[in-house]
Amino acid sequence: MYKLLLSWRYLRTRYIALASIVSVTLGVATLVVVNSVMSGFAHEMHARLHGILSDIVVESYETAGMPDATWHMEKIRSIVGADLEAITAVVHVPAMVNIPVPNGRSVTRPINLVGVDEKTYAQVCEFSPHLLHPENRKQLSFLLRSGGYAPGRTAFPPSGWQHRRNRVRIERDIQRHLQPSAAAESKAGQELADADTQRKIERSADFDPLSVALPQSSPQLPGSGRFDQPLGQKNDDVVRDDVPAVQLADSQVSDPFGNVPVNSNGAVFDPVKHQHTGVVLGIAIASTRHRDADGQVRDYYYCLPGDDVQITFPNASQKPTAVFDWFTVVDMYESQMSEYDSTFAFVPLRKLQEMRGMFDPEQGIYGVSSIQLKVREGANLNAIRDKLREQFPATTYPYSIQTWRDLQGPLLAAVQLETTILNILLFLIIAVAGFGILATFFMIVVEKTRDIGILKALGAPSGGVMSIFLNYGFALGVVGAIAGMALGLVFVTYINEIAGFVETLTGREVFDPTVYYFQQIPVITDVATMLWVVCGAVLIAVLASVLPALRAARLHPVEALRHE
């Protein structure tokens, strides 16, 4: 009884000891915060990486990819069996995107162009949730929507057909203003269109985009560079209003420079009514993020859904040459992983296969560069991967078969390592705090020497005296750890507010969304981790009190009583 009473009284009256556990408190609080933030980060990253990458990727090293996608997919289906949930074929190719900006200039970005099957791609990996348009999140479509992109995001400019039409109207107004004799040019435009059609035929014959990239006769007007159909407007009056807003067949939309494409129905390409093949651009390709004078994060968009961009990439022939085409941005992809957001652009699979020449026209077989699988929840990814590797031996097939963990292994390992090292370092901090407790306890034992003598004179056994100090250390550890955990949890709960406060205080961004693409600091509080941290801290406090407690227990009662 006296042990509990005395340790309780010591706890309440020795403020110096409470001071010595402040370091335990801080250490525990830091551990809680670090672990929460790191696991929030790791979880977010896992979710995103996994979502983007799909479970298993069978990728071909060859330029032309796997020659027969259907055969491969059938074979994979038979190998994986019941574990397979979804499968999709993908073509990816390094590419370059040119985004026209006002004043006839354009922004060029290197991208990773991915040809996806709009029906199955979203089943395999978490693609749809990262799109801006709510309808596209349900089912991806490469057709431009009329509007309603990124609902609830006030900073996102209006986009879609509305934006496209407004833009074209403004462009045409400018152009009309610059060229009052529009009627006269209308005829000339018609002639040019004929000439362009001629050139297009030439191009499809020799596959040389350069021959059309420099049209001698196209009057590229100042201020119209952003809008790639400077002459199209001259056919304003010939376009029938009843033509549906649809994407024209590929062959009709290939030449941006002033031609007037005509589809099989005889409809002339009109940017007000028609779109090119759709492309989903990574949001960071199409925008820059910066800070305005007030320190607010702003996004500036070079292009928006409804605008047209030019994409250039190599074809799949033995002597690769660059091919290019115009695409209409139909949506944007925002996974909040800056690496992906700034490189990925998605186009329809078939379009890419055809442009790259990845098909056998005689047999109608299409090639792909990789096949992505989604397997049943809980299936052993590594086992399936090994089975696939067995069936597609590296000696015969130049394929790399990897799980998403393999693909992002180094990144995941780095996060894991960071967490481990931080934990070790912070536990060292608590260990340092333990030495503080040790020193304080020695002081308290010296200070309490006479009391120890009294207790022994009253018949308290050495073990009892020892356990007073062990209890005391335990109580200090518990108080410190609980206080630290409470502090840490409060910190974690209000971490974004605290970050905002520190920001206003120092004027420096704590968690820069221009770098991390997180709007908020992600946190996950894991109960088991918290328990470990608290137990570790209490254990360190108890261990630190063992030596002083032993010293107290070994005190000779007579000498202790004489101590002053």
- Chain contacts with another protein (rule: CB under 8 A): 1-2, 4-6, 9-10, 13, 449-451, 453-462, 464, 554-564
Of the pair 13, 520, the CB lying nearest another protein is at 13
Q: How many CA atoms does the CB half-sphere of 544 hold within 13 Å?
A: 30
Q: What is the distance between the alpha carbons of residues 217 and 223, in angstroms, rounded to a whole number?
A: 18
Of the pair 325, 451, the CB lying nearest another protein is at 451
Of the pair 25, 467, the CB lying nearest another protein is at 467
Q: What is the distance between the alpha carbons of residues 368 and 366, in angstroms, rounded to a whole number?
A: 7
The three state secondary structure string of 351-386 is HHHHHHCCEECCCCEECECEEEEEECCCCCHHHHHH
Q: How far is the CB of 13 from another protein (least distance, A)?
A: 6
Q: How far is the CB of 449 from another protein (least distance, A)?
A: 7
Of the pair 455, 478, the CB lying nearest another protein is at 455
Q: How far is the CB of 456 from another protein (least distance, A)?
A: 7
| Contact (Cβ atoms closer than 8 angstroms) between residue 468 and residue 7 | yes
**Residue 234 DSSP symbol:** G
Q: 526: closest CA among 37, 116, 187, 36? A: 36
Q: What is the distance between the alpha carbons of residues 498 and 504, in angstroms, rounded to a whole number?
A: 10
Of the pair 193, 455, the CB lying nearest another protein is at 455
Of the pair 523, 555, the CB lying nearest another protein is at 555
Q: What is the distance between the alpha carbons of residues 205 and 223, in angstroms, rounded to a whole number?
A: 33
Q: What is the distance between the alpha carbons of residues 167 and 161, in angstroms, rounded to a whole number?
A: 10
The three state secondary structure string of 173-196 is HHHHHHCCCHHHHHHHHHHHHHHH
Strand blocks (E) in 334-443: 344-348, 359-360, 365-366, 370-375, 399-403
Q: How far is the CB of 479 from another protein (least distance, A)?
A: 17
Q: What is the distance between the alpha carbons of residues 557 and 457, in angstroms, rounded to a whole number?
A: 7
Q: How far is the CB of 465 from another protein (least distance, A)?
A: 10
Of the pair 376, 554, the CB lying nearest another protein is at 554
3-class secondary structure, 66: strand
Q: How far is the CB of 335 from another protein (least distance, A)?
A: 59
Of the pair 356, 456, the CB lying nearest another protein is at 456
How much of the chain is in helix, strand and coil states, percent to nearest 5?
Answer: 50, 20, 30
Q: How far is the CB of 9 from another protein (least distance, A)?
A: 4
Q: How far is the CB of 441 from another protein (least distance, A)?
A: 16
Q: How far is the CB of 2 from another protein (least distance, A)?
A: 4
Cα 289 to Cα 90, 338, 378, 512, distances in angstroms: 30, 11, 39, 11
Of the pair 12, 105, the CB lying nearest another protein is at 12
Neighbours of 103 (CB within 10 A): 11
Of the pair 3, 164, the CB lying nearest another protein is at 3
**Residue 57 DSSP symbol:** E
Q: How far is the CB of 547 from another protein (least distance, A)?
A: 14
